[in-house]
A and B are shown apart, each in its own frame.
Chain A
Amino acid sequence: MKVNRSERKRAFVVFLFFCTWFLVVFVTLIKTQVLDYNRYLAKIKAQSHRILKLHPKRGTIYDSRGEVLAISVKTKSLFLSNKDGRKSRRLLDLVCRTIPLDRERVRSIRRRIDRDEHFIWVKRKLEDKDYARLKALRKRVDEGRYLGFIDEHKRIYPQSGRAAHILGGVGIDEQGLYGIEYTLDGVLKGKGGRVKAVMDARQRVFRFQYLEEPVAGRDVYLTIDSVVQFFVEKELARAVETSHAKGGAVVVLDPEDGRVLAMASHPGYLPGRLRYTPVHLLKNRAVSFLFDPGSTFKIVLASSALENKVCYPQQVFNCYNGTYTLEQREISDVHPYDKLTFEDIIIKSSNIGAARIGLRVGKTRFFETVQDFGFGEKTGIRLPAEERGILNPLERWNQISVASISFGYEISVTPLQMARAFNTIATGGYLVTPHLVENIVGMRLPPVRRRRVLSASTCHTLLPILTEVVRRGTGTKARIEGVNIAGKTGTAQKNIGGRYEQVYVSSFGGFFPAQNPRLTIFVLLDEPRGFFYGGDVAAPLFRRVAERLMVYLRVLPELEGSSELRI
């Protein structure tokens, strides 16, 4: 077949066209696939690949029975995407009409809208009902262009104010601020992770890869028993109310291993409303309240005297009929006594007798015992703001110091330190470190520190003296029929600005059953009005707490002449 010239020309044009088209396609492909490869890849990745941050859930805090004390649950937070100031302000007004927002917050949001900030939190950690209302509002008026929700975790304290001072509380970003939440923040909060997710056009994830594995916060089990804590808080609140005291504290220890079964401080607060709580309410009086222990400190003096074998229980001391002058300083007793035996000095709580014993022990030996009991140093409990107390160095001790410290002045201690001191006698001479953390899931905790500071014979001698305090001494109001309680009362003036004022701290420490202690309890009332002696206000509180715990912990009383008493 012959092809004429014009046909050949047309075929050439078509061929040329296809060649050009192919060349253009080829060049474009080369440009897209080779030259601009990285740019387009980045664009695709920007659309379909996301790096998502994973926020781990904060660990749960349980009591020793496995009851939840603090838990984090999922919640929603509302934000405003401020693309148009006018529209944003209108939406904010609608939000204000839908959920409660405080005025200051609304003003702050308006200011931020005016400043053209793009991302503005409206309300974080919404209540379920507020979320439902806002979700409906968003659907009705906004369709998700301006208002949005972000998933967050909210810390819940289901038992409201229970063990508030132990738990502490968290901030808006779930960071521990007080109490165990603060001390164990590193363990509880875990570690955030990052994940690379591949998404489809509908933004659904269909493939993901961990860039950094998230580490969930560890669960923590405390030694606290929430039932014991409940009884203790209830009784403490009642005692503070009836004695018109400023506040109070109670510590309950398990003598065997120093577990803190309850630690209450009054007034309390709600950990869930930490932001709105005045700072003075956050003070945990059990570990942060410094006070002169008064006569409860005589147990340390008696221990020192017996341990160093400078006194014996029947030794008689002159108590100078209620007034004794030492280096021009007058020491007086509430009830005047002529002569008292060593044990009666403790039982009847004679300050003059205590001063005379202290002087006989001597400052070096007494100082050593005070140190052995752990005064002047932190107990090691894992709570922030724990005070170490005030114990002057030996060089600053003089005769007056020895006499004063013998009956619990010129030294400052915390209720927990005093509870530990009573516990030392309860354990037969071992100083046990009180602890709050029973277990951290997935972690091994160091063993409880325990060291002997008193001989068994000293404790054996001291025990009947302390039971006599409750049977016929200053602590009779702590007595429970059928239960052998060993304890000591204390009343001390408060040192305010370097001067002892006519306001008092009343306390009582003890343990029971005396021969085989199951519980050590120390109670304190700060500035009770009216009756202020430890024997009048603190001892009854001790008794009420002990009665409640006896029933709960099945500590059965034993009566003389019978083998068992059942209630």
Chain B
Amino acid sequence: MKPKGGVAFNGVFILVTFLFFLLLFTYSSLNLKNIDYGYRRQTLIRQEKELLEQIDTLTSEKAKLLDLARVERLVMEKLGYRYPGPEQFIKVFDRSR
């Protein structure tokens, strides 16, 4: 016959061990989650930075494309546009006023 005190001791021991491992598991999983969040945050920050850099590059490209000297050259060379001469201006007088 086993003593009563021994069963109680075993029960407490199992409970304490269980709680200890539960605590350990919770702590480590939380910590791992934090580390994972750290990585994800870092990735997002990097992505944001890259996107901002892309915006800058695209803004610069857009400004280059809209450069008036370039546009003027293109319309003159490719479309054959010319600045109007003085004789090509038509003056309209508003006599109603």
Q: Do A and B bind each other?
A: yes
Q: Is residue B69 within 8 Å, beta carbon to beta carbon, of the partner chain?
A: yes
How far apart are B42's CB and chain A's nearest CB, in angstroms? 5
Q: Is residue B15 within 8 Å, beta carbon to beta carbon, of the partner chain?
A: no
CB of B97 within 8 A of CB of A563, answer yes
* A566 to B89 CA separation, bound complex (whole angstroms): 10
Question: Interface readout for A537-567 with B: 1 if CB under 8 Å, 0 if not?
Answer: 0000000000000000000000100111111
CB of A158 within 8 A of CB of B60, answer yes
CB of B69 within 8 A of CB of A205, answer no
Query: Chain A residues near B90 (CB, 8 Å)?
Result: 567
* A204 to B90 CA separation, bound complex (whole angstroms): 69
How far apart are B76's CB and chain A's nearest CB, in angstroms? 12
- Residues 32-78 (chain B) with a chain A CB within 8 angstroms: 35, 38-39, 42, 53, 56-57, 59-64, 66-69
Stretch touching chain B among A11-19, A64-72, A86-94:
A64-72
Which one, B63, B64, B89, contacts A567 given CB within 8 A? B89
B36 and chain A: residue at smallest CB distance:
A206
Query: Chain A residues near B4 (CB, 8 Å)?
Result: none
* A562 to B96 CA separation, bound complex (whole angstroms): 9
CB of B67 within 8 A of CB of A158, answer yes
Query: Chain B residues near A207 (CB, 8 Å)?
Result: 35, 38
CB of A71 within 8 A of CB of B59, answer yes
Query: Chain A residues near B63 (CB, 8 Å)?
Result: 67-68, 71, 158-159
Query: Chain B residues near A562 (CB, 8 Å)?
Result: 93-95
Q: Is residue A160 within 8 Å, beta carbon to beta carbon, of the partner chain?
A: yes
* A158 to B64 CA separation, bound complex (whole angstroms): 5
CB of B91 within 8 A of CB of A230, answer no
Question: Interface readout for A187-227 with B: 1 if CB under 8 Å, 0 if not?
Answer: 00000000000100000111110000000000000000011
Query: Chain B residues near A208 (CB, 8 Å)?
Result: 42
* A57 to B59 CA separation, bound complex (whole angstroms): 15
Which one, A68, A198, A227, A566, contacts B68 given CB within 8 A? A227
Q: Is residue A329 within 8 Å, beta carbon to beta carbon, of the partner chain?
A: no
CB of B42 within 8 A of CB of A564, answer no
CB of B92 within 8 A of CB of A565, answer yes
Q: Is residue A156 within 8 Å, beta carbon to beta carbon, of the partner chain?
A: yes
Query: Chain A residues near B39 (CB, 8 Å)?
Result: 204, 206
12 pairs of residues in contact across A and B, judged by CB atoms under 8 Å: A68-B59, A71-B59, A71-B60, A72-B56, A158-B63, A159-B64, A159-B67, A206-B38, A206-B42, A226-B68, A562-B95, A566-B94
- Total A residues in contact with B, Cβ cutoff 8 Å: 30
Which one, A482, A559, A564, contacts B97 given CB within 8 A? A564
How far apart are A411's CB and chain B's nearest CB, in angstroms? 37
State the B residues within 8 Å of A (CB): 35, 38-39, 42, 53, 56-57, 59-64, 66-69, 89-95, 97
How far apart are B90's CB and chain A's nearest CB, in angstroms? 8
State the A residues within 8 Å of B (CB): 57, 60, 67-68, 71-74, 156, 158-160, 162, 198, 204-208, 226-227, 230, 482, 559, 562-567
Query: Chain B residues near A57 (CB, 8 Å)?
Result: 56
How far apart are A270's CB and chain B's nearest CB, in angstroms? 12
Q: A67-B63, A160-B67 are in contact. Are A566 and B91 (CB under 8 A)?
A: yes
CB of B42 within 8 A of CB of A566, answer no
Which one, B53, B57, B91, contacts A565 given CB within 8 A? B91
Query: Chain A residues near B53 (CB, 8 Å)?
Result: 73-74
CB of B69 within 8 A of CB of A563, answer no
How far apart are B86's CB and chain A's nearest CB, in angstroms? 9
CB of A205 within 8 A of CB of B59, answer no
* A562 to B91 CA separation, bound complex (whole angstroms): 11
CB of A162 within 8 A of CB of B42, answer no
CB of B60 within 8 A of CB of A68, answer yes
Q: A206-B35, A564-B97 are in contact. Are A230 and B68 (CB under 8 A)?
A: yes
B64 and chain A: residue at smallest CB distance:
A158
B94 and chain A: residue at smallest CB distance:
A564
A481 and chain B: residue at smallest CB distance:
B91
Query: Chain B residues near A73 (CB, 8 Å)?
Result: 53, 56-57, 60
B37 and chain A: residue at smallest CB distance:
A206
* A160 to B97 CA separation, bound complex (whole angstroms): 46
* A205 to B94 CA separation, bound complex (whole angstroms): 71
How far apart are B72's CB and chain A's nearest CB, in angstroms? 8
How far apart are B5's CB and chain A's nearest CB, in angstroms? 25
How far apart are B82's CB and chain A's nearest CB, in angstroms? 15
A206 and chain B: residue at smallest CB distance:
B38
Among all A-B residue pairs, the 8 with the closest Cβ atoms: A158-B63, A206-B38, A563-B97, A68-B63, A564-B94, A158-B64, A562-B93, A230-B68
Query: Chain B residues near A74 (CB, 8 Å)?
Result: 53, 56-57
How far apart are A153's CB and chain B's nearest CB, in angstroms? 9
Which one, A71, A204, A227, A564, contacts B93 given CB within 8 A? A564
How far apart are A566's CB and chain B's nearest CB, in angstroms? 5
How far apart are A397's CB and chain B's nearest CB, in angstroms? 47
Q: Beyond A226-B68, A565-B94: 4 further Cβ-contacts under 8 Å?
A: A67-B63, A71-B60, A73-B53, A565-B91
A207 and chain B: residue at smallest CB distance:
B38
* A134 to B95 CA separation, bound complex (whole angstroms): 70
* A381 to B42 CA separation, bound complex (whole angstroms): 44
Q: A562-B94, A564-B93, A566-B94 are in contact. Are A160 and B68 (CB under 8 A)?
A: no
A226 and chain B: residue at smallest CB distance:
B68
* A74 to B50 CA separation, bound complex (whole angstroms): 9
Which one, A67, A72, A156, A566, contacts B66 given CB within 8 A? A67
How far apart are B92's CB and chain A's nearest CB, in angstroms? 5
Query: Chain B residues near A72 (CB, 8 Å)?
Result: 56
How far apart are A497's CB and chain B's nearest CB, in angstroms? 38
CB of A230 within 8 A of CB of B69, answer yes
A205 and chain B: residue at smallest CB distance:
B42
